[in-house]
Structure 1
Amino acid sequence: MNNKFNRRTFIKTSAAAGVGLGVMGGFSDLFAAQASGKRVGIIGLDTSHSIAFTKTLNAKEADPVYRDYKVVAAYPRGSKDIESSVSRVDGYIKDIQQYGVEIVDSIESLLSKVDVILLESNDGRVHLEQALPVFKAGKRTFIDKPIAASLRDTIAIFDQAEAHDVPIFSCSSLRYMKSAQEVAQGKVGKVLGADAFSPAKLEDTHPDLLWYGIHGIEILFTVMGTGCKTLTRTHTKDTDVVVGVWEDGRVGTFRGLRSGKNAYGGTVYGENGVQVLGPFDGYNPLLKQIVDFFDSGVPPVSKQETLEIVAFAEAADISKNNGGSAVSLASVFEKALK
């Protein structure tokens, strides 16, 4: 696909959207009846998350937990050069139009039509660039994983959001597995340690564990909390094992798998028992958190935790490059802040 979403394509897809509305019926009435402030805009149609969220929100009889939020418009461009992302866009444009979503040719145009934003571009490298006009427009924003492709950009994203007084948050849907949330809410008492695992497919443009391993890292931090001090990484062509030591001496590990598409989970060791994590519960538990955030403006995941997750992934790359030596997260933050 051409990196620029050209005018001819824009006119063609917009026209198709209009036809789709007429054929499917009911969507125009649905959108006309929306309460003020409930219009959702999507940036990036290079991920299945965009379609999954839209399918749930725009269902004819959507669950009341989604508070009448509806996806009304989308700007399709995401990654500029990751083939697995770029090649999806044309298909996902067609998919999302089935739900009455208008396709627009710029982020600026999108912002004039919506109240809140799902920044869904699969490529973390473009998130800072895409988020800046959103923040300037004052739109509350959920940024899908990875929030960025570096700790430096992640810090910049939070700095710019704060400068424009715009609430944001970012996380993986794996954070909201029922079993992980039960642990976070105290089911096994104080967590003494934990192991987490997930697929960890690599992408050359991102730190190894930010592209897909972030899912397992998110699980680990959901149950362990912040405070990782140092880590070491063992790396083979099939597996990564990262061992983190927290400030209070607790140990948490992440295992990244090159195979096992739906392998998400782990084990938590608590003062009151052991909890097995899993299975993955789908995207809807996260989506509920997102719409609650759109209403309240209160992020359900702290800035510090998101920064630490990204620093954990960067530190893991440094450890690998240094033969598995221990790396402090403080040194990674110091480097990023320079």
Structure 2
Amino acid sequence: MKKIGFIDYFLDEWHAEKYPNWIKEATGGGMQVAYAYGKIDSPSGKTNAEWCAAHGVELLDSIEAVVERSDYLVVLSPDHPEYHEELCQLPLRSGKPTYVDKTFAPDRETAIRLFELAARHGTPICSTSALRYAAEYAEAAALEVATLHSVGPGRFENYAIHQIEPLIALMGGSPDRVMSIGTSEAPALLIGFADGRQAAIHHFGWECPFAMTLNDREGHAHTLKVDSDFFAVFIRQMAAFFETAEPLVAPAETIAIVSVIEYGLRAMQTPHEWVAIPTTA
């Protein structure tokens, strides 16, 4: 059995709650979460010790101990990516395959530093939104997409990646500008690409499903509503990354995704004006 170590800001959060059983089931017990570290106890839930006791995971008192004893590493903190750089320092020096939960980094420069650190130490690293693996989006991957309109729920700060990552995966190319076209209650972005194409994302209430309508290069429309179990596919992909050490997403694409989020937030300060996005790492 290969042992996985969790490294988190605090362990009592949704991803840490779900991943252990999903990983065990997806690998037939071949991979299991064995060790965990949390920087702080949850401000509003179980302590790290209580979480570990509930999941049969050994709580360790340092990131160094988790890195040393684990075969594979998962840096979580999905709603606090501002801690990823701190939490990743030892994992990315370890040479052990390391998955970093969404959103990979709070800004472009941090994302570049993390990839450079991993590269210097020969550490396989990847990060992705689980929505990338929705069957409905995968089926559209063969299309040459001219434009698309995406909708989904959640706050922009921690849910934008679930629309932006599939958008960039399907559109291809390099996003080089962004414009805020929404409101504070319903954020929306128009994203421009270097080849002149454009696409949009819109955030609505929690009742809004993830969906998109796209036009292919021949002018045909395709409407995609996500009903598939994308998390199951995502977990299998994570396990494959651990086994092969082959990243699921190219670093340049992850940097582009983080850049759209960062510059999208900047664009919200000057609505209806294009904000340029750097396109070289």
TM-score (structure 1 length as normaliser):
0.75
| 1:41 maps to 2:42 | no
Could you tell me how far apart the structure 2 residues matched to 1:261 and 1:69 are? 35
**Moved runs in structure 1, 4+ residues, more than 6 A?**
none
Q: Which residue of the other structure, out of 146, 159, 162, is the alignment partner of 2:119? A: 162
> 5+ unaligned residues in a row in structure 1: which ranges?
1-33, 202-208
Pairs aligned (count): 276
Could you tell me how far apart the structure 1 residues matched to 2:128 and 2:29 are? 21
2:37 maps to which residue? 75
Could you tell me how far apart the structure 2 residues matched to 1:140 and 1:86 are? 30
- Distance of aligned partners of 1:325 and 1:175 in 2 relative to their CA distance in 1, 3 Å threshold: same
Superposed, 1:287-306 pairs within 5 Å as 287-306=235-254
* Matched AA of 2:30: D
Larger Rg: 1
| 1:328 maps to 2:264 | no
1:235 maps to which residue? 182
Could you tell me how far apart the structure 2 residues matched to 1:141 and 1:253 are? 31
| 1:195 maps to 2:149 | yes
Q: Which residue of the other structure, out of 33, 41, 64, is the alignment partner of 1:108? A: 64
Query: Once the two structures are superposed, what CA deviation does each residue of 1:157-178 show, in whole Å capped at 9, x if it has no partner?
Result: 1110111111111111111111
Superposed, 1:22-33 pairs within 5 Å as none
Could you tell me how far apart the structure 1 residues matched to 2:118 and 2:39 are? 22
The CA RMSD measured in Å over matched residues stands at 2.2
Query: Once the two structures are superposed, what CA deviation does each residue of 1:139-167 show, in whole Å capped at 9, x if it has no partner?
Result: 21110011111211111111101111111
| 1:52 maps to 2:18 | yes
Could you tell me how far apart the structure 1 residues matched to 2:43 and 2:208 are? 23
Shift of 1:269: 1.8
- Distance of aligned partners of 1:133 and 1:261 in 2 relative to their CA distance in 1, 3 Å threshold: farther
Could you tell me how far apart the structure 2 residues matched to 1:89 and 1:280 are? 31
- Distance of aligned partners of 1:163 and 1:261 in 2 relative to their CA distance in 1, 3 Å threshold: farther
With 264-273 and 302-311 compared, the bigger mean Cα shift is at 264-273
1:212 maps to which residue? 159
2:105 maps to which residue? 148
- Distance of aligned partners of 1:216 and 1:161 in 2 relative to their CA distance in 1, 3 Å threshold: same
| 1:179 maps to 2:127 | no
2:77 maps to which residue? 121
- Distance of aligned partners of 1:308 and 1:63 in 2 relative to their CA distance in 1, 3 Å threshold: closer
Structure with greater helix share of residues = 1
* Matched AA of 1:43: I
Shift of 1:46: 4.2
Shift of 1:181: 1.2
Shift of 1:210: 3.8
Shift of 1:111: 1.4
- Distance of aligned partners of 1:63 and 1:134 in 2 relative to their CA distance in 1, 3 Å threshold: closer
Q: Which residue of the other structure, out of 190, 194, 215, is the alignment partner of 1:269? A: 215
Shift of 1:96: 4.6
Query: Once the two structures are superposed, what CA deviation does each residue of 1:65-119 show, in whole Å capped at 9, x if it has no partner?
Result: x6711111111236x9xxxx642452x7535533421111110111122111111
Instruction: Give the SS at the match of 2:69.
Output: coil
- Distance of aligned partners of 1:261 and 1:134 in 2 relative to their CA distance in 1, 3 Å threshold: farther
2:92 maps to which residue? 135
Instruction: Give the SS at the match of 1:142.
Output: strand
Name which structure has the greater RCO, CA cutoff 8 Å, separation 6+.
Answer: 2
Could you tell me how far apart the structure 1 residues matched to 2:254 and 2:150 are? 17
Superposed, 1:249-264 pairs within 5 Å as 249-257=196-204, 259-260=205-206, 263-264=209-210
Could you tell me how far apart the structure 2 residues matched to 1:261 and 1:113 are? 42
> 5+ unaligned residues in a row in structure 2: which ranges?
none
Instruction: Give the SS at the match of 1:248.
Output: coil
Query: Once the two structures are superposed, what CA deviation does each residue of 1:172-209 show, in whole Å capped at 9, x if it has no partner?
Result: 1111111111112x1xx2111111122242xxxxxxx3
Could you tell me how far apart the structure 1 residues matched to 2:237 and 2:43 are? 28
Instruction: Give the SS at the match of 1:55.
Output: helix
Contact 2:23-2:239 within 8 A present in 1 as well: no
